[in-house]
Structure 1
Amino acid sequence: MNAADLRLPVDVPSTALFTDRYELTMLQAALRSGTADRRSVFEVFTRRLPEGRRYGVVAGTGRVLDAVENFRFDSGVLDFLASRGIVDEPTLAWLADYRFRGDIHGYPEGEVYFPGSPVLRVEGTFAEAVLLETVILSILNHDSAVAAAASRMAVAAGGRPLIEMGARRTHELAAVAASRAAYVGGFASTSDLAAGFRYNIPTVGTSAHAFTLLHDSERDAFTAQVDSLGRGTTLLVDTYDVAEAVRAAVEIAGPELGAVRIDSGDLLLLAHRVRQQLDDLGATETKIVVTSDLDEYAIASLAAAPVDAYGVGTQLVTGSGHPTCSMVYKLVARADEAGPDAPLRPVAKKSMGGKASLGGRKWAARRPDADGVAEAEVVGTGPVPPELADHQLIVELVRGGEVVAREPLDTVRDRHAAARAGLPLSATQLSRGEPVLPTEYL
Structure 2
Amino acid sequence: MANSPSPGSTALLTDHYELTMLQAALRAGTAHRRSVFELFARRLPEGRRYGVVAGVGRALDALERFRFDGPTLAVLADVVDGATLEWLESYRFSGDIWGYAEGDAYFPYSPVAIVEATFAEAVLLETLLLSVYNHDSAIASAASRMTFVAGDRPCIEMGSRRTHEEAAVAAARAAYVAGFTTTSNLAARQRYGVPSAGTSAHSFTLLHDSEADAFRAQVTSLGTGTTLLVDTYDVAEAVRLAVEVAGTGLGAVRLDSGDLGLLAHEVRAQLDGLGATGTRIIVTSDLDEFAIAALASAPVDGYGVGTELVTGSGHPTSGFVYKLVAREDEAGTMVSVAKRSVDKASVGGRKYALRRRNPSGTASAEVVGIGTPPVDDGDDRTLLVPLVRDGEVVGRESLDDARARHLSARAELPVAAQQMSRGEPVIPTLHL
What is the TM-score of this pair, normalised by structure 2?
A: 0.98
Deviations 1:174-210 (A, max 9, x none): 0000000000111000000000111101100000000
Deviations 1:290-342 (A, max 9, x none): 0000000000000001100000000000000000011000000000149xxx4
- Tell me the equivalent position of 2:213: 220
Q: Does 1:363 align with 2:352?
A: yes
Match of 2:87 among 94, 99, 112: 94
Whole-Å separation in 1 of the counterparts to 2:160 and 2:187: 10
Q: Residue type matched to 2:381 in 1?
A: H
- Tell me the equivalent position of 1:319: 312
Q: Residue type matched to 2:420 in 1?
A: L
Whole-Å separation in 1 of the counterparts to 2:414 and 2:303: 26
- Tell me the equivalent position of 2:64: 69
Whole-Å separation in 1 of the counterparts to 2:375 and 2:38: 24
Deviations 1:129-173 (A, max 9, x none): 000000100000000000000000001101200000000000000
Could you tell me how far 1:388 is from its partner in structure 2? Answer: 4.5
Could you tell me how far 1:350 is from its partner in structure 2? Answer: 1.1
Point out the more displaced range, 304-313 or 383-392: 383-392
Q: Does 1:8 align with 2:5?
A: yes
Whole-Å separation in 1 of the counterparts to 2:121 and 2:32: 8
Give ranges in structure 2 of 5+ residues lacking alignment. none
2:360 counterpart SS class: coil
Q: CA RMSD in A?
A: 1.1
1:367 counterpart SS class: strand
1:43-192 aligned at under 5 Å gives the runs 43-82=38-77, 85-192=78-185
- Tell me the equivalent position of 1:418: 408
Q: Which runs of 4+ in 1 moved over 6 A?
A: none
Could you tell me how far 1:405 is from its partner in structure 2? Answer: 1.1
Q: Residue type matched to 1:87 in 2?
A: V
Aligned length: 431
2:38 counterpart SS class: strand
Could you tell me how far 1:387 is from its partner in structure 2? Answer: 3.2
- Tell me the equivalent position of 1:427: 417
Could you tell me how far 1:99 is from its partner in structure 2? Answer: 1.1
Q: Residues 354 and 374 of structure 2 are in contact (CA less than 8 Å); yes or no, is this contact kept in structure 1?
A: no
- Tell me the equivalent position of 1:18: 13
1:387 counterpart SS class: coil
Whole-Å separation in 1 of the counterparts to 2:377 and 2:129: 29
Q: Does 1:378 align with 2:367?
A: yes
Match of 1:394 among 377, 384, 388: 384
Deviations 1:373-424 (A, max 9, x none): 1101011114334335752210100000000011110110110010000010
Percent identity of equivalent pairs: 69
Match of 2:23 among 18, 28, 47: 28
1:122 counterpart SS class: strand
Q: Residues 142 and 325 of structure 1 are in contact (CA less than 8 Å); yes or no, is this contact kept in structure 2?
A: yes
Q: Does 1:403 align with 2:398?
A: no
Q: Residues 35 and 337 of structure 1 are in contact (CA less than 8 Å); yes or no, is this contact kept in structure 2?
A: no
1:283 counterpart SS class: coil
Whole-Å separation in 1 of the counterparts to 2:156 and 2:17: 40
Whole-Å separation in 1 of the counterparts to 2:373 and 2:393: 26
2:212 counterpart SS class: helix
Q: Residues 347 and 359 of structure 1 are in contact (CA less than 8 Å); yes or no, is this contact kept in structure 2?
A: yes
- Tell me the equivalent position of 2:329: 336
Whole-Å separation in 1 of the counterparts to 2:5 and 2:279: 49
Q: Residues 365 and 388 of structure 1 are in contact (CA less than 8 Å); yes or no, is this contact kept in structure 2?
A: no
- Tell me the equivalent position of 1:37: 32
Point out the more displaced range, 121-130 or 376-385: 376-385
Whole-Å separation in 2 of the counterparts to 1:386 and 1:153: 34
Match of 2:226 among 229, 233, 245: 233
